[in-house]
Amino acid sequence: MTPPKPRVLIVDDQPEVLRVYARALEIDGCDTQTAASAQAAMDLINASPPDAILLDLKMPYVNGLGFLYRLRDAYPGIPVAIVTGLPSLDAQTTQEIQDLGAELAFKPMTISEVQSVARRLLARAGSR
């Protein structure tokens, strides 16, 4: 019997980012789900927690950091990478992301970078 494919949730308010990241990860052997908002992401996670999450930092309503706090309360063990299009982050935000156990990545990311980030997260998921 074939083991199940790892499941990665991609959360971003930009449809093109969702499409490109999902395709990159599907090529790499992952099942993907996408959500364009924090609420849609939480609904998917509550229905079936993924193995890893790629999470945009800047989103409307609830930003990625606010969502990460909510996620850690309910699902502390899911590996997460916060992805931002900002050229840099202030030290406090960077520290918060690290304190919450998330990885930090910067857009734009190539397909191989998306795949590498997901592989690192999934390796952490496998060691839980």
Contact status, residue 4 vs residue 39, Cβ threshold 8 Å: no
Domain at 94, CATH number: 3.40.50.2300
Q: pLDDT by residue (tens digit) across 45-71?
A: 999 999 999 999 999 899 999 999 999
Asked, for residue 2, whether it belongs to a domain, the answer is no
Q: Helix or strand or coil: residue 4?
A: coil
Check residue 64 and report its DSSP letter. Answer: H
Structural domain contains residue 62: yes
**Residue 91 domain boundaries:** 7-126
Q: Half-sphere exposure of 21 toward its Cβ, with a 13 Å CA cutoff?
A: 31
Does 46 map to a domain? yes
Model-level pTM?
A: 0.96
Q: What is the structure's pLDDT at 128?
A: 52
**Counting beta carbons within 10 angstroms of the beta carbon of residue 113, is it exposed (0 to 12), middle (13 to 18) or buried (19 or more)?**
middle
Query: What is the average pLDDT score of the chain?
Result: 95
Domain count, the chain: 1
